[in-house]
Amino acid sequence: MKIAVMGYGTIGSGVVEVLEINKEKIAKRAGEPIEVKYVLDLREFPGTPIENKIVHDYKVIAEDPEIGIVVETMGGVEPAFTFVKAMLEAGKQVATSNKNLVAAKGAELIKVARDHGVNFQFEASVGGGIPIIRPLNKCLTADEIEEITGILNGTTNYMLTKMTEEGADFDEVLKDAQDKGYAEKDPTADIEGYDPCRKIAILTSLVAGQQVDFEDIHCEGITKITPEDIKYAKAMHRAIKLLASSRKVGDSYTCLVAPYMIDDTHPLSGVNGVFNGVFLRGNVLGDAMFYGSGAGKLPTASAVVADVVDMTKHQNTNIYIDWKPEKLTLVSYDDSVNSFFVRTDSPKSEVEAVFGHVDYIEDVVDGEYAFTTGDMTEKDFADKASKINVINRIRL
């Protein structure tokens, strides 16, 4: 099997490395050796083992009948979409790690692949090395998935873990994460939750069997989390995690990306540092959780290569993926139901006049206290919260 890798950045070079490190094991499992014939990149890599494999024009790959599988690790929607579509139309199978491409164009590319008798796979686009896409498609087929909730961003999870362990504030841990290479110079996509938002859109599309647009998902990042919030969380035996969550409600789903305070007994509460976790609940399976490295060169490349192995074994078979292009209308944000942790310095009488009976958490931070609500809609909460002075609020 001769393959091409488009984009020789962190993940692309990782793919070449994993294919070399585990060459024999992979050949055995794929049923034949897998060889990288081309690497598409704008740059040259003189003096490296891929020096003679570099091409700058994707058409060289599309037009080479020897190439059976193409790996896309360029990132971004364009030109990745144009290139990937051309490869599928040329009868080549494609594996990608590109969440932006899959969230925006997944349903379309799955259809193009099916129309051309090839496969488009994207295990590495969510949860890095953690097997989650294939388990959803192939393993949890006896279940109705009622909830899928993930810690899907290693950068923010590292930052929240660090804030919890050291009592440090947001700016400090962001700088530390940047120094360690976990956060980008422009950390917006991570800290504002845009990255996990695309990932939960992909997972929800797979669970629902139709297109979920990430633009429709309400998304809050971790920029408003303070050391005081962490103190409350500890006092309440809870952990603050940035969750990307999707729950079935009737025939639709309610989706949200936001920080949550989860109980210490929740399977995701122990997912710390740069690790990711995906929790799901099936109507017959009950609770399950998948945990592992959500990012990083080799773990992510491991998932891409697993797709390559799978596609090598399925050269003339379309692996069915249930993700139709018709758009799913999510439950509106206003109608989404959550319960809330609220910090305030308003008199309790005011709080009770607005929220009725609540549970109090006191003596954690001077000059304020907190309370927790039962389930209520986001709109109801926002209306009520506007009538008292809210220092911060986090979903439970």
Binding residues for L-homoserine are: 184
**Contact call for residue 290 and its own copies (CB under 8 A):** yes
**Contact call for residue 31 and its own copies (CB under 8 A):** yes
Query: Taking Cα atoms as reference points, which of 121, 103, 114 lies closest to residue 303?
Result: 121
- Candidates 180-188, 191-199, 264-272, 336-344; binding stretch for its own copies (CB under 8 A): 264-272
Distance (Å, whole) CA 125 – CA 98: 5
Provide the mask over 93-132, with x wherever binding to its own copies is found by CB under 8 A and - wherever it is not: ------------------------------x-----xxx-
Closest CB to its own copies among 111 and 313?
313
Distance (Å, whole) CA 187 – CA 155: 9
Residues 6 or more apart from 14 whose CB is under 8 A from it?
A: 297, 298, 300, 301, 304
Residues 6 or more apart from 339 whose CB is under 8 A from it?
A: 372, 373, 374, 375, 376, 395, 396
Q: Which amino acid is at 112?
A: V
Find the shortest distance in angstroms from Cβ 239 to its own copies. 11
**Contact call for residue 296 and its own copies (CB under 8 A):** yes
Question: Which member of 41, 195, 229, 310 binds its own copies (CB under 8 A)?
Answer: 310
Distance (Å, whole) CA 13 – CA 6: 10
Which of these is catalytic: 92, 105, 162, 199?
199
Are 260 and 241 in contact, with CB atoms under 8 Å apart?
Answer: yes
**Contact call for residue 289 and its own copies (CB under 8 A):** yes
**Contact call for residue 305 and its own copies (CB under 8 A):** yes
* The residue to which tokens 């994993």 are assigned: 18
Find the shortest distance in angstroms from Cβ 73 to its own copies. 14
- Candidates 75-83, 112-120, 235-243, 312-320; binding stretch for its own copies (CB under 8 A): 312-320
**Contact call for residue 322 and its own copies (CB under 8 A):** yes
**Contact call for residue 236 and its own copies (CB under 8 A):** no
Question: Which member of 36, 177, 219, 309 binds its own copies (CB under 8 A)?
Answer: 309
> Is 234 designated active site?
no
Question: Which member of 64, 143, 146, 172 binds its own copies (CB under 8 A)?
Answer: 143
**Contact call for residue 144 and its own copies (CB under 8 A):** yes
Are 361 and 342 in contact, with CB atoms under 8 Å apart?
Answer: no
Q: Would you tell me which residues interact with its own copies (CB under 8 A)?
A: 18, 21-22, 25-26, 28-31, 123, 129-131, 134-135, 138-144, 265, 267, 269-270, 272, 275, 282-293, 296, 298-299, 301-306, 308-310, 313, 317, 320, 322
State the catalytic residues: 199
